[in-house]
Chain A
């Protein structure tokens, strides 16, 4: 069955540094992949969508890459700020179903 793996351990970084989060998937070839941010007790918020024919997508301080050969997506936050502290979820879409990863918690220290 389709499986998504995200870093289960929390990522701690210093303010101003670049945070890099990883999303690996198996047994699937998604047409596109999405990244969401979730704060405790709140609904996920859409950040970026990248299609299988796109290598990279940027939005302000965010950058997503999508390597269909490695079956991996990387999510980067440059010049990170304490306000970026949250859980980041990747999601695969295809076959009319959405599968979310368990998420990676990011802590940005001032």
Chain B
């Protein structure tokens, strides 16, 4: 158990809908990262927050947004969902912004039908 929690574990929704994925980092970790993993793309970095502020952006679509709250939990919002958004979404946390290992949550499996 990494200490990072993600909810929900599974999510099935229809195209065009909007969903919110939630992540609670390990106690004491200030950085939160979001990743998307699909079969043909591997693990893709989406976005990173550090202590409530956006720190880095990767290949995140405009339909996706995220935020980190004062209690350090983070939410990833996915809207206007398409079939291609079906994937495993992982959240990870680390102590600081870089030069520290990342601890991954169990992931949320999103299926868009």
Contacts and interface: CB of A to CB of B under 8 A. Distances in A.
A46 B88 CA distance: 18
Chain B interface extent, by class: 20 to 34
Q: What secondary structure prevails in chain A residues at the interface with B?
A: strand
Interface string B84-107: 000010101000011101111111
B105 to A, nearest CB: 6
Interface residues of B, dominant DSSP:
strand
A10 interface: no
Contacts of A102: 42
B2 A45 contact: yes
Contacts of B58: 97
Interface residues of A, number: 23
Given A45-B2, A101-B42, A96 B97 contact: yes
A32 B101 CA distance: 11
Nearest to B102: A46
Interface string A91-110: 00111111111110000000
B64 interface: no
Nearest to A43: B104
B48 interface: yes
Interface in B33-71: 33, 35, 42-45, 48, 55-56, 58
B33 A43 contact: no
The 5 closest A-B pairs by CB, nearest first: A43-B104, A96-B56, A46-B101, A100-B43, A102-B42
Interface of B: 2, 4, 33, 35, 42-45, 48, 55-56, 58, 88, 90, 92, 97-99, 101-107, 109
Interface of A: 31-32, 34, 41-46, 49, 51, 89, 93-103
